[in-house]
Amino acid sequence: MMFSSSLLSSSLRFRASSLVFPAAVGAFLLLAGCAGEERPTAAEFTAAAEETLIEHYYDGSRAAWVQSTYINEDTTALAARFGAEGLTRAVDFAQEAATYDAASEADEVARKLNLLRGGLTLAAPADEAKIEELSQIATRMEAAYGSGKHCPDGPDTSTCRSLGDLEDVIDNSRDADALLDAWEGWRTISPPMRADYQRFVELSNEGAQALGFADTGAMWRSKYDMPPDDFAAEVDRLWDQVKPLYDDLQCHVRAELSDHHGADVVDPAGPIPAHVLGNMWAQSWSNVYDLVAPPAAAPGYDLTGILRSRGASEVEMVRMAEGFFTSLGMESLPDTFWTRSQFVKPQDREVVCHASAWQLDLDEDVRIKMCIDINAEDFSTIHHELGHSYYQLGYRDRVPLFRDSANDGFHEALGDTIALSVTPGYLVDIGLLDEEPSADADLGLLMRMALDKVAFLPFGLLIDRWRWAVFSGEVPPEEYNAAWWRLREQYQGVGAPSERTEEHFDPGAKYHVPGNTPYTRYFLAHILQFQLHRDLCEAIGYEGPLNRCSIYGNEEAGRRLSEMMAMGLSRPWPDALEAATGSREMDATAILDYFAPLAEWLKEQNEGRACGWS
């Protein structure tokens, strides 16, 4: 449930999206009746499958929740057990669904058949032992990530550092040696996952192939209401729209970091080494803002400082974010959200700190799981997670198979769209800021935002470029790590800071790989959130610069978003996009509009610099 839950697709662990909810192997036989009876119609089959899936859903997601918030041998074994049962059910229904001809059915039934067959994030061969093995691998990899620590002096010694400890260094230190030490340290947790991952690829591909897909990657690409190859081309089209802006940002950031650290650490003509970008994965760069900011930009405001000086607590930050959603006319979060969520990292046990949002019953039992730090980044992540919660609540009246977003990019985009409206003007409205900074501050504010959002784009793309190639066999196990770094360089212009070999398994140090969460959704979300922001601002009659627009308190904007969310997965995604924006196509020009003043400034800065990397 990385973000949610959905009856299917989610993985074993019922995460993110999808109702996969499988019924025990053979459960379908009950639906089908005894020998001699007629086979159910497609409508009867899909309705019965939904009923079975939903019946078992809550138990499985509770087991997954407990494992993620209390990692030990017992919870891992229980989660794996429930995962295997869920997977068995899902595979069983998927295979049965594949025997119907979706094209000859009415729209809604056809959609359900396709979801049952292709909605899984993880498929498995219909073989009890293999399902068990796959479920154990998946559960073990996630637990290994969640409890991973760098222990230079041996396991369980006092010098062990958790991901959070190592991120403190990467996010804040300016010392290249300390940065490298933390960067390499975190990557000691993933080599032990390599063999598991290789087997995971084999088994999940076997499952996808049994359902008629070329491999697991092809199954993932089949969920976008278009042929899988067209989807890959669509992603390329969107990337081509924004790549020139990214390249200019990379060029400027590289030059400034090279000035700061010296050309021996940051080669002014090569890829930027991954340890100096202020983020463990070099996926967003706002922590190096001070080093690359426009010198003349007026100071904006320091939200982290404000939150801390006001003594804001974790739960108060969540309350503030909820206030944004209710200002749009949406309901308050249920009481159980507040009593069952995890906001603060527990001190007495291991948990998966990576933020996520869950809908355990596919109804009102929505929760988020975070280890909140009092800072601006986590304030933004809280909005991201509540976006998932509100989406989940928004579609809860749909039939179970349609309780998911229009495509997974929409689920990821909703909360970020709201966070784009957390403008200085909004902060004044809610009393966090005394007065709005003047327009001179905009270049700096845009730079901070670009370091977060524009820097992310190629990263959002390349994780699944790597996995698609791994699943298809184009990248064999003996090239896992080399292929990873080739893609990092090609798309991001970011390189390894020290020698990496096939002894390492650097993809495993990014949550979504051991967590088996598809990642192209975040690339789509980064495009969609700007499109939603621009088009909603336009719809409510806003005319100024896009970075100063806030939809706070605007019920028309809320109505459009609610309409999109309430559709769930019942219609193809262009219908949902149209409900909110009036447009049926994803369009990256909104991101270009938003950053236009910064793009111009970057061009001036880069004059005379040799941009690009080879």
Give the helix ranges, DSSP H, for 98-174. Answer: 107-118, 128-146, 163-172
Least Å from the CB of residue 193 to Zn ion: 22
Tell me which of Zn ion, ligand X8Z, none is bound by residue 522, counting a contact when its beta carbon lies within the kind-specific cut-off of 5 to 8 angstroms.
Answer: ligand X8Z
Helices and strands, number each (H, E), in the chain:
23, 8
Query: b or e along 222-245 (b: 16 or more beta carbons within 10 Å of the residue's beta carbon)?
Result: bbbbeebeebbebbeebbebbeeb
Return the H-helix or E-strand segment holding 495. Answer: strand 494-495
Residue 356 interface partner, choices Zn ion, ligand X8Z, none, CB cut-off 5-8 Å depending on type: ligand X8Z
- 23 or 372, CB closer to ligand X8Z? 372
Q: Give which of Zn ion, ligand X8Z, none residue 613 binds (C-beta under 5 to 8 Å, depending on kind).
A: none
Query: What does the DSSP 8-state code read for residue 342?
Result: B
Question: Rounded CA gap, 497 and 43, in Å?
Answer: 56
**Three-state secondary structure call for residue 612:** coil
Residue with token string 């637990």:
143
Nearest of 483, 494, 460, 417 to residue 239 by alpha carbon:
460
Exposure on the CB side of residue 474, measured as CA atoms within 13 A: 11
* Sign of the dihedral through C-alpha 553, 555, 558, 562: positive
Letters for 396-435 (x = contact with ligand X8Z by CB under 6 A, - = none) are ----------------------------------------
Asked if 381 is part of the footprint of ligand X8Z (rule: CB under 6 A), the reply reads yes
Does residue number 390 form part of the binding site for ligand X8Z (CB under 6 A)?
A: no
CA distances to 139, 247, 458, 532 from 241, in Å: 38, 12, 12, 17
Out of 3, 324, 459, 573, name the contact with Zn ion by CB under 5 A.
3
Shortest Å distance, C-beta 462 to ligand X8Z: 12
Least distance CB 100 / Zn ion (angstroms): 33
Name beta bridge partners: 357.
368
**Cβ closer to ligand X8Z: 11 or 356?**
356
For ligand X8Z, which is the closer residue by CB, 136 or 283?
A: 283
Name the minimum Å distance from CB 3 to ligand X8Z.
4
* Cα gap 343→315, rounded to integer Å: 7
Q: Which is nearer to Zn ion, 50 or 412 (CB)?
A: 412
Question: Which residues, numbered 500-539, are part of the site for ligand X8Z (CB under 6 A)?
Answer: 522
Q: Could you tell me whether strands 494-495 and 272-273 are parallel, antiparallel, or unpaired per DSSP bridges?
A: parallel
381 binds, among Zn ion, ligand X8Z, none (CB under 5 to 8 A by kind): ligand X8Z
**Minimum gap (Å) between residue 155 Cβ and ligand X8Z:** 27
| Beta carbons within 8 Å of 148's beta carbon, 6+ residues apart | 162, 163, 186, 189, 190
Please choose which of ligand X8Z, Zn ion, none residue 516 contacts, taking the beta carbon within 5 to 8 angstroms, the exact cut-off set by kind.
Answer: none
Instruction: Tell me the residue nearest to ligand X8Z as measured from the CB.
Output: 355
Strand partners, 161: 150
| Minimum distance of Zn ion from residue 222's CB (angstroms) | 21
Length, in residues, of the chain? 614
Please write down the long-range contacts of 478-485, taking CB distance under 8 Å and 24 or more positions apart. 478/502, 480/194, 480/197, 480/198, 480/505, 480/507, 481/505, 481/506, 481/507
Spatial distance between the Cα atoms of 381 and 412, rounded to a whole number of angstroms:
11
Q: Minimum distance between the CB of residue 145 and Zn ion, rounded to whole angstroms?
A: 16
For position 355 contacting ligand X8Z by CB under 6 A, the verdict is yes
- 355 or 569: whose CB is closer to ligand X8Z? 355
The residues assigned a catalytic role are 354-355, 384-385, 388, 412, 512, 522
> With CB cut-offs between 5 and 8 Å by kind, which of Zn ion, ligand X8Z, none does residue 222 bind?
none
Instruction: Give the integer Cα–Cα distance in Å for 93 and 116.
Output: 6
- Select the span of 3-11, 22-30, 123-131, 494-502 touching Zn ion (CB under 5 A): 3-11
Name every residue whose Cβ is closer than 8 Å to that of residue 529 and which is 6 or more positions away in sequence.
Answer: 413, 416, 417, 420
By CB under 6 A, tell whether 286 contacts ligand X8Z.
Answer: no
Considering only 3, 21, 93, 505, the residue that binds ligand X8Z (CB under 6 A) is 3
Among 136, 356, 423, 554, binds ligand X8Z (CB under 6 A): 356
Which token pair is 416?
A: 């970020």
Q: In whole angstroms, how close is the CB of 370 to ligand X8Z at the nearest point? A: 8
C-alpha pair distances (Å), 150 with each of 184, 188, 193, 292, 520: 9, 6, 15, 30, 29
By CB under 6 A, residue 2 contacts ligand X8Z = yes
Which residue has its beta carbon closest to Zn ion?
A: 3
For the bound state, the minimum distance from the C-beta of residue 355 to ligand X8Z, rounded and expressed in Å, comes to 4
Check residue 146 and give left, alpha or beta (phi > 0: left; psi -120 to 50: alpha). alpha
The Cα–Cα gap between 554 and 202 comes to 50
If contact means CB under 5 to 8 A according to the sort of partner, which of ligand X8Z, Zn ion, none does residue 467 touch? Answer: none
Angle of CA points 446, 166, 488, to nearest 5°: 60
Q: Which two tokens stand for residue 307?
A: 């939150």
Kindly state the number of chain residues that form the binding site for ligand X8Z, as judged by CB under 6 A. Answer: 8
Contact indicator for 254, 272 with CB cutoff of 8 Å: yes
Nearer to ligand X8Z, 40 or 460 (CB): 460
The item of Zn ion, ligand X8Z, none sharing an interface with residue 64, based on CB under 5 to 8 Å by kind, is none
Residues numbered 400-429 forming contacts with Zn ion, rule: CB under 5 A: 412
The whole-angstrom separation of Cα 351 and Cα 389 is 20
Nearer to ligand X8Z, 356 or 570 (CB): 356
CB of 571 to ligand X8Z, least distance (A): 23
Q: 355 contacts which partner out of Zn ion, ligand X8Z, none, CB within 5 to 8 A by kind?
A: ligand X8Z
C-beta of 261 vs 411, nearer to Zn ion: 411
Tell me the closest approach of the beta carbon of residue 537 to Zn ion, in angstroms. Answer: 23
Choose between 96 and 412: whose C-beta lies nearer to Zn ion: 412
356 or 520: CB nearest ligand X8Z: 356
Q: Answer with the entry of Zn ion, ligand X8Z, none that 239 interacts with (C-beta below 5 to 8 A by kind).
A: none
521, interface contact from ligand X8Z, Zn ion, none, CB < 5-8 Å by kind: none
Site of tokens 């060029």: 251
Closer residue to ligand X8Z, CB minimum distance, 245 or 419: 419
Judged by the rule CB under 6 A, the positions of this chain that interact with ligand X8Z are 2-3, 283, 355-356, 381, 384, 522
Judged by the rule CB under 5 A, the positions of this chain that interact with Zn ion are 3, 412
